[in-house]
Amino acid sequence: MYEHFAIAFVYTFYFYFAIGFLFAVVFVAKGVQRLDPNANGSGIRFRLLILPGSAAFWPLFLRRWIRKDRDVPEERNSHR
């Protein structure tokens, strides 16, 4: 029984990162300059650097990309 749960977990993990990698390739190529105007004209090194993070956090970036949030989120902590 636990083996089936572990296999399902691993397949879910693979599915999440497969979708994330496909999203990240498109996002790094086209979407990053829409969300961050400072990324316009950035080189391939920068785009390769943000690729793993874009793949890991793809649901957050997808939501911001769909909502077209251009404003950088403001930090709300006690140090500001």
- pLDDT tens per residue across all 80 residues of the chain: 889 999 999 999 999 999 999 999 999 988 888 888 788 888 889 999 999 999 999 999 999 888 876 666 677 777 75
pTM of the model as a whole: 0.75
Q: How far apart are CA 6 and CA 27, in angstroms?
A: 31
Task: Specify the pLDDT at position 39.
Answer: 81
Residue where the block lists tokens 């404003």: 71
Q: How far apart are CA 10 and CA 31, in angstroms?
A: 29
Q: How far apart are CA 58 and CA 22, in angstroms?
A: 10
The residues, any chain, with a CB within 8 Å of residue 52's CB and separated by 6 or more, are 24
